[in-house]
Structure 1
C-alpha cells in the first residue's frame, strides 16, 4: 500500500515561485483532435505493452523517456518548467513510488517464505475436490485482502494455486485471483492503496464499507466461470505427498511481516499521519522484518532480479500516469465514478483517486469499488496484477487476459449497478 502525500508549506512556497517564474515557459500542450499529446504518448505506451508483451519493460521505459522529453521541451510540468519542475514533481511522488517498490520486492520474498512453509502443499486436502475448490480459494483471497495488502493477498493466492494445480494455472483464473484481491480490499481502508488514501484525506472509514455490496456481488459473478475454466484446464490434485511437515518458523515470519505492516499502517494513520507523507513507512516496515528474520530463515534472494524488472515496469507506468494533464475531471456523479473504474484498467488509480479527493462530491464507497476493482480488467491495471504476473509471466498478455478474463469486466458492471440499486448514490458535499 501507499499513502497520499501532502505538500509541506516550504514546498508549496517553492512551487509557487517556480510557477510564477516559469509561467511564460510552460506552454499549452500540443493538441490532437482536442486531446493533449501527453495522452497519446501514454496510449501508445500501453498499446506497445499490449502488443509486444515480451518487451514490456523497455516499452514502458521508452514511453517514460518520451513523455519526460516532450514535457521538458514543450509544456513543462504542473510544478514548473524544465528539470526543476521535474525534480519537484518527483519530490511529490517519491513516497508513493518508494513504497510500491519496497512492497512489490518485499512481498515476493514473503510469498517465497509462505511457499516453503509447507502450507500450500497441505491445501489440496482442505479445498473441495471439484470446480468448487478454486471458488473457495478465491474466497480466501478476498477475505485476506480485507485486512492485508492486496498485493500480499494476490501473491498468497497465486502461491497456493501453483501448488494445488501443480503449476498449471489458467490465465482466466489468474485474472480472477487479481480481481478477488482487489475486490476484497475495496471496502477496507487498510486493504488497498486507494482506500488508504481516502482515509488519510479525511474520509470516514465507514463510508467505504458499502463497497463490499458491489465487491461481494462481483466475486459471485466472476468466481464461478473462472473456477470452471481452471477446473477444465487443470483440476486440483488431491493426493498431497505423504510425510509433509509445516515449517512453523516460516509461518511465523510471514505472520510477523503482515502483522507489522498492519500495525504500522494503523498506528501511523491514527497517531502520526504526517509520517506517511514523509516516509515510505509500510515498505520500510516490511523490509525491516525481512532483514531481522533473515538469520533465522534466509529469504529467497534469487527471486530479486526477475521481481526487480516487473517492479520497474510498474513504476514507469505510474510515473507516466502522474505526468498526465488530468487536472480537470467531469462533475462527480455515479456515471463519472463508473467511468473512472473503466479508465483505471489502464491508467494508474493512485492519481485518479487523488484528483477525485481534491474535487470532492463523490460517494466514496462507489469510488473505492470503481478504482479499486476496475484495475483488475487489465494485468497491469493494478499493482496486484503486476506482482502476480511476475510469478506467472504467461499472464503478461492483454489479449489473453481479456479473452479468458472476460468474467471480470462483466462482474465489474454487475457489481457497480447492484450497489447503485441496493444502496444508491449518496455523495459527500463538495469539499
Structure 2
C-alpha cells in the first residue's frame, strides 16, 4: 500500500508538471492526488499494513487489532493537517479578495502616473522597482498581473513588451522572497512558524535585492533596452479610468495587507486572523465609499466585495488544498520508524552532506516543479528551529529559482498567459539572466548570514 501511495503522488506530480501539453488544469490532478493518497493510507492503516506518525512523534498502528487510541490518532492527524492547510487557504482568500476590491475601484491605475519616462533603460528600472516592491506587499503573482496590465497600456510594440514582461517576472519573484506575504511559499513557512517576519526580512532582503539588481543591470546594457520607446498616449485613458475611490482603496487595501504581520507580532495570533480583520475593514469601507460623482444604489454591485469574491481564482485555492494534503499524507505515513518525508531527508543528508548544496538544488528544481509542494515537503523533512539558516535559504531558493523557466513560478505562468510568452524564447533570452541573479543572491546570502545578528544555524540534517 505504501508503494501505491508513492506512485499516486508521483503520477499526480508528473501530471501537474505537464499540465500545458496535457491541456489539463493542474487543480484536477492535485485534488485527485490529495484525496487518493489519504484514501490509500486509510485503507492500509485500517487493514493493518500501514502505520502513521503524528507531529508529536507518536506512531499509531492497527496491526495488533483495533484500538480506540490508534483510530483517534489517525483522525487527529488528518484534522491537524487539514487545519494547517486551511490556515494558508483562508489567508490567501483574504489577500486575494482585498486585491480584487482594489482592482474593482481601479486603484492600480494610480501606478500609471508613476511611469512618465520614454527612456527604455529608465523604464526598465522603474517597472523592476515597482515589481520588486509591489510583490513584497501584494504577492508576486498579483504584482506581475498588475504590471503586465500596465505595460499593455504603455507599450504598443509586442516584441518590446515581451522583454519587459519577462524581466518583471524576475523582479517580482525576487521581491516576493523576502516578504512573509510576498509568495505562497514564504507565507507557508511564516504560518508554519519556520520563519519570523523580521527574521525573513533581515536575512533575505539584501540577497533578494542582488537577485533582482544583477539581471537588471546586465539587461540595461542589452539592445532591447537602448534608446527611447514609443509609448501609448494614456492621457485620455487616465481620465476615463479615474474614480473618486481609487486612491483611497489602493492605500487602504495595501495598508491592510501590510498590517497583517504587525497584527501577528502584537497579538501572537495566526496570520489568517489578521487577514480576516484587514478584509473586514476594507470590505466595510467599500460598502459606503462613493466611487463616482453620481453614484446610485444600482451601480453599487459593480464595486462590491461580493463581485470581488466572484473574481477570485478558486481553482488556485483548490490546487493548494490538494497538493498540501497530498504532501501531508507523505509526511504522515511511516517508513521504517519515521515519516516518509523525514526518511527522504535522512537519505538526502547521507548522499549530500552539504545542506546548502541541497537547497540550491531545490532552487533549480523549483524552476521545473511547482515550488509549493517542494517547500511543503521540506517543512515535513526538517525540524530546525524558527529562523534557522535552512528555512531562510529555502525561502530564497524556492522563491527566486522559479524565474529560470517561464513555467517555474506563478508569476511566470501569469505573464506567459497574458503576453503569450514562448517557452523556448524565454529559455534562450531570459533564463541565463535569472540564473545569474539566483546564483549571485545565493552567494551573497551564504557570505552575509554568519555576520547577521540572531543567526540560527540549527543542526544540519533531518529530524
Matched, 1:347 2:371: yes
Matched, 1:145 2:135: yes
| Displacement of 1:167 | 9.4
Partner of 1:337: 359
| Displacement of 1:253 | 0.6
**Which residues of 2 match residues 224-373 of structure 1 at below 5 A?**
237-242=231-236, 244-245=238-239, 246-267=242-263, 269-276=264-271, 279-282=272-275, 285-286=278-279, 288-290=281-283, 292-296=285-289, 297=291, 298-299=302-303, 301=307, 304=310, 307-325=313-331, 326-328=341-343, 329=345, 330-331=348-349, 333-345=355-367, 346-348=370-372, 350-352=375-377, 354-355=379-380, 358-360=383-385, 362=389, 365-373=392-400
Distance in 2, Cα, partners of 1:310 & 1:414: 31
| Displacement of 1:121 | 4.5
User: 1:341–1:375: 8 Å Cα contact kept in structure 2?
Assistant: yes
User: Measured at CA, do residues 54 and 275 of structure 1 come closer, stay the same or move farther in structure 2, by a change above 3 Å?
Assistant: closer
Distance in 2, Cα, partners of 1:306 & 1:327: 35
User: Measured at CA, do residues 320 and 223 of structure 1 come closer, stay the same or move farther in structure 2, by a change above 3 Å?
Assistant: farther
User: 2:110–2:246: 8 Å Cα contact kept in structure 1?
Assistant: no
Deviations 1:301-338 (A, max 9, x none): 38935733344345434443444442342457221221
User: 2:185–2:371: 8 Å Cα contact kept in structure 1?
Assistant: no
Deviations 1:270-311 (A, max 9, x none): 2222343xx553156236513541443443838935733344
Matched, 1:223 2:232: no
Q: Which residues of structure 2 form unaligned runs of 5+?
A: 45-49, 55-59, 61-70, 292-301, 332-340
**Which residues of 2 match residues 162-201 of structure 1 at below 5 A?**
162-165=152-155, 168=158, 173-189=164-180, 191-192=182-183, 194-195=185-186, 197-198=189-190, 200-201=193-194
User: Measured at CA, do residues 405 and 255 of structure 1 come closer, stay the same or move farther in structure 2, by a change above 3 Å?
Assistant: same
Matched, 1:127 2:117: yes
Query: TM-score if structure 1 supplies the norm length?
Result: 0.72
Match of 1:44 among 3, 10, 14: 14
Matched, 1:107 2:99: yes
SS of the counterpart of 2:105?
A: helix
Match of 1:392 among 406, 418, 427: 418
| Displacement of 1:96 | 1.0
User: Measured at CA, do residues 264 and 198 of structure 1 come closer, stay the same or move farther in structure 2, by a change above 3 Å?
Assistant: closer
Partner of 1:417: 443
Q: Which residues of structure 1 form unaligned runs of 5+?
A: 1-26
User: Measured at CA, do residues 145 and 236 of structure 1 come closer, stay the same or move farther in structure 2, by a change above 3 Å?
Assistant: farther
| Displacement of 1:114 | 3.6
Partner of 1:157: 147
Deviations 1:127-176 (A, max 9, x none): 34324413320112212334554444334323322322359585664453
User: 1:182–1:376: 8 Å Cα contact kept in structure 2?
Assistant: yes
Distance in 2, Cα, partners of 1:72 & 1:230: 57
Query: TM-score if structure 2 supplies the norm length?
Result: 0.68
Deviations 1:383-406 (A, max 9, x none): 5556x45972846x8667656651
| Displacement of 1:49 | 1.4
Distance in 1, Cα, partners of 2:15 & 2:51: 20
Deviations 1:8-47 (A, max 9, x none): xxxxxxxxxxxxxxxxxxx6x2189xxx435413432223
Distance in 2, Cα, partners of 1:334 & 1:363: 8
User: 1:306–1:390: 8 Å Cα contact kept in structure 2?
Assistant: no
Deviations 1:60-110 (A, max 9, x none): 444444444443444686557877754443133211122223333442443
The alignment yields a C-alpha RMSD, in angstroms, of: 4.3
